Amino acid sequence: MRATPRREWGRRDLNPGPPAVWVGEYTPGWHPTKLDDGPTEPSEIPRVQQLYHALLIFPFSMVLLMVRARLLPEGEPLDIESLVKELLEDNKDEPIGAVLAFLGVVRGVSSDGAKVKRLLYEAYEEVAVAKMEELLREAVEKHGVVDARAYHYVGERKVGQPTFLVLVASRHRKEGFAALAEIVERVKKEVPIWKKEETDKGSYWLPKL
């Protein structure tokens, strides 16, 4: 199997594309289930093959707890009230005492002080969703919360627009906050979603921190 060479995080000279992350094999435009000598768009791989590859990494034995993760296209509105109602309805027989939320939005200023124009998110979609659901299940089991859900946008996001939502339903706020913080940090570090920041000083693929 031929893997795309690694790209260094934070390079601002050539900036050829997203950094190589997650398992050290996949970069956007190349798919590890395709055995050939050139880049391949994930859409060219039959969907069944993509899902099969995801299930090799995330087996059926992990599908035990009801959690939900989705990648949202840039044009889809984020109706947080409806998502909270859905979460409560799906767990109406559970003694829920708190629903906690984290909502990430596009900041108007980058870490180096540049004015942000927009962010562009790209994901290895099938694996990203499966990995998010794995992290949600682990947090539910570890912290004893009732349910956890995550929604992440792909595509273009402008300043002030939402990018990432996590909802946690718990019996008490203490374990809910602990689960929420863990999910947010692990999704940002471990899920194959890449972020390109376009500013008045240039455009850069950002490292996963």
Report pLDDT digits (tens) over 5-20. 333 333 333 344 444 4
- 206 or 143: whose pLDDT is higher? 143
What does the mean pLDDT of the chain come to?
78
Judge contact between 159 and 83, C-beta under 8 A.
no
When pLDDT is averaged across residues 134-163 and rounded to a whole number, the result is 97
- CATH H-level superfamily of 67-206: Molybdopterin biosynthesis MoaE subunit (3.90.1170.40)
CA–CA separation, 143 and 95 (whole Å): 15
Whole-model pTM?
0.71
CA–CA separation, 31 and 8 (whole Å): 19
Domain ranges, ordered by start, for the chain: 67-206
Report pLDDT digits (tens) over 45-88. 344 344 434 444 444 334 445 679 999 999 999 999 999 999 99
Task: Calculate the alpha carbon distances from 167 to 4, 135, 162 in Å.
Answer: 35, 13, 14
- Which pLDDT score is estimated for 165? 98
- 64 or 147: whose pLDDT is higher? 147
CA–CA separation, 54 and 58 (whole Å): 6
Checking if the pLDDT of 204 tops 80, the result is yes
